[in-house]
Amino acid sequence: MTMEINDRLWVSRLTLTAFRNHRSTVLELDGRPLVLVGNNGAGKTNLLEAVSLLTPGRGLRNAPLSDLVYQDFAGEMVEASAASPPNIWGIAAEVETPLGVREVGTARDAAKIGAARERRLIKIDGDLRRSQQSLSEVVSAVWLTPQMDGLFRDAASGRRRFLDRLVISFDPEHTGHAQAYEQSMRERTRLLKSGSRDATWLTVLEDSMARHGVAITAARQQMVERLDEIQREQPEGPFPSAAARLEGAVEGWLSEAPAVVAEDRLRAALEQSRERDRQSGGASVGPHRSDLLVQHREKSTPAQFCSTGEQKALLVSLILAHARMVAFDLGAAPLLLLDEIVAHLDVKRREALFAILLELKCQAWMTGTDRNDFEALGSRAQWAEVTAGSVQISF
């Protein structure tokens, strides 16, 4: 695949207000990769988390909105001020995109504090938006964190979240399908647990789950197939080729028949499993049961049985393949948020990673405790020292 990147996506200004351990932080940046160096607990990952919240969802930590409220370095809640009211945080950014400079902001909604389901406010180019899905119009970002190093060994739910994050970069509607599916599934579970015999309402909910569930699965399958294609086409290098496939009932139906038939099968399966689901308190079939299976292609070894270093390299390989896809299809690579990325990577793989990031012309945000681990980047990156919620940029 020949790729020519003519446009770029990067954050030129990031402002944090009362966010985590950043009382008031402003970063002025260019499009080069950014290396954030500092001791553990200084606030490096908090900066990456802030950028991740410029996309739909709960960010790279999947944290409740209440956990993002400003705390000082000792972990104590700080007294409110006029500039920073209690329990409120905010993130604002200027983003360079292929369509020009865009302004993006998000904050905790003060009106919903204490509600059963809190929400965050979204503002794009000065206008309030009703849905987080609108963030996908401006920012595309994916991330790797140390907690994801065990992705191939841990529960399937983490792999589904990882895959869905990749899908959202191409299909902004994926977020809406996922939200609608989960809402219908929660309501169906509530009805079944209550002992309700309202077959009409259950049918409506199961119809919604079928339509959105098949859309979710189809988008996931397309992503996995394209990732696998790119991995096969890439020449051998320091990062292993990751063979990926999806496993699940809906995936099987889609491989055998059109989407409308898969919807009918899912709808029928949900209806038939009502009594079992009433007892278990969930849904026994659907895309929430699917799994992403990854294999080290050259060794024909399932990822979960590979070494720690090989598993990290497989994750990086998938992320880089995805970045190439985004750049090829949309003309600009996504933001890459790479927390403690050099852990478990040898010198050869570190240097190869840096070279690929520069080739992709992406603004990668990388954190680490040792500046020497990133020295190969030199002036091709911008550098920042993070200390107790304070950031000093050096170009």
CATH number, domain of 41, equals 3.40.50.300
Kindly report the length of the chain.
395
Residue 168 shares a structural domain with residue 298: yes
Residue 124 shares a structural domain with residue 235: no
Q: Tell me: the pLDDT tens digits for 141-198? A: 999 999 999 999 999 999 999 999 999 988 889 999 999 999 999 999 999 999 887 8
Residue 215 shares a structural domain with residue 295: yes
159 part of a folded domain:
no
Residue 16 shares a structural domain with residue 97: yes
Residue 2 shares a structural domain with residue 148: yes
In this structure, are residues 148 and 337 in contact, taking their beta carbons and an 8 Å threshold? no
Q: Is residue 75's pLDDT more than 50?
A: no
What is the residue range of 12's domain?
Answer: 1-152+308-395
| Domain edge (last residue) among 305, 330, 355 | 305
Q: Is residue 3's pLDDT more than 50?
A: no
What is the Cα–Cα distance from 73 to 345, expressed in whole angstroms?
30
In this structure, are residues 140 and 101 in contact, taking their beta carbons and an 8 Å threshold? no
Q: Is residue 74's pLDDT more than 60?
A: no
Angle among Cα 73, 78, 83 to the nearest 5 degrees reads 115
286 part of a folded domain:
yes
Residues in CB range of 391: below 8 A, 6 or more apart: 25, 27, 36, 43, 47, 384, 385
Domain count, the chain: 2
Q: Is residue 79's pLDDT more than 50?
A: no
How many of the other CB atoms lie within 10 Å of CB of 280?
Answer: 12
| Domain edge (last residue) among 305, 333, 351 | 305
Residue 197 shares a structural domain with residue 110: no
Q: Which helix (H) or strand (E) holds 128?
A: strand 127-129
User: H-type helices in the chain, by residue range?
Assistant: 44-52, 156-168, 173-194, 199-233, 249-256, 259-272, 274-280, 308-330, 347-360
Helical axes 199-233 vs 259-272, angle rounded to 10°: 130
